Chains A and B, each alone.
Chain A
Amino acid sequence: MATGFPVKPLELVDVPWHNAVGGFRIADTTVVGAGTGWTFSSIPQTFKHLLLLWVASTTGTADDQVGLRINSVSTANYHHQQLQGLGTGASAGEGLLTTFGQVSFLPGSTGRTDAKYGSAGVVLFPGYSLAGSFPTWVSRSDFTKTASTGGSRAWLYGGALQSSAQAITTIQLFSGGGVNITPGSRATLYGLT
């Protein structure tokens, strides 16, 4: 029996669905060939918030940043703050006046004990359509490089594009080092009503 909603099985309801259903998938893209990331453009401005889920790994040898750009802006106006858990220690880091934001890292093949190890994360863009504020995001992500102590990391990220106030219409998620993402990596963008 389905619970949690006040109608009976097989009962038909008229759905004021813009408000009723919470979220919609805007785009879902899996990497199938050579490519350094994803671009979500022409994002509808009809939602309240955006949610981006991703899982990825890198073809490169070195650990690589997962970069984020808003509206294709590449001027040095991005600011990010991170909180990292690594093994049994914690640290904080920041990026000031950079040309792209950051939401995570991908584990490179050097020292990676299993090619299946990668990273995953969720990025939220609350109030993304507000034209009077700087675009911002808050994100949680993790990566695993080995199955031993110190082989995994967890992050909380926040970031902003502090060039000019603008609504978010394009989101790019990509390898900060310009290295190809492994085929099978996937990113899905949702709009929350």
Chain B
Amino acid sequence: MALGLTDAIGTRRRERRHADKDRVWFYPVMTTLSVLWLLPAFFIVLISLRSTDDITTNGLSALPHSLSLDSFVYLFTQAGFARALGNSLLVTATGVVLSLVLGATSAFALSRFRIPFRVPILLLMLCGNLLPPQILLIPVEQICEALGIYNTLLALIVAQVGFGVGFYTFVLHGFLRNIPDEIFEAARVDGATPLRVFVSVALPLTKPALAALAALASTWIFNDLIWSLTLIRSEVKFPVTLVVLQLQGSYVGQWNVVAAAALIGAIPPAVVFFIFQKQFISGLMVGSSK
């Protein structure tokens, strides 16, 4: 894990030895700063492991008098957190797959064929992704109601895919465009249909970019708040972010439960990040807008 992030962020290879002599303050200062930076997260972990009684009696700042997993047990047995995790994972998985498939097809068409106005189309699609979501919320809600899919996970998936597809198209286009033409030419000469070229040549070659985008897209969709807030009403369909907020609103005082919910809600994106950190960071660098 540690080595990976160095590689991904890219340590400069050419080291300069003589420049660091006067930096005696470096380690004390950076260590203090890093610890301060991690402290909030550490504090949350600590709170989540305390019992409600402990917090009420001894206050939020006290060190735990006893460690317990009660808050986590409560989350999954009483608060319907497992269902929320299921909803989020379903929306995320479907959303990511659909986004990438649609992004890849349009990127393939725009990058390898002489489609008229392909540059304006590409920029227009990217532009759609950069719009402030506020300008879309009301009409999208109306569309969902008209289609009868308001308050369904499907609405959430379609909204996420529609909003994201421009960005995925843009990134994949940049990637596909740089694959040497000879590779595609060879497949065409062999008589492969465009569909076959797409599936057996373009997609495999785009794998690194697809992995980067899958990592990014899954955290974006999983972490979404505003679309879920707008399109989902019933508690049984709440994704994790909505349940975390609901807990925060209705369990004032039970900070251990709120902290536990926030922590569990952070785990799936964190796992994706640590597994795909290299792709993740390089993905962020590609004209990121989020």
A and B form one complex: no
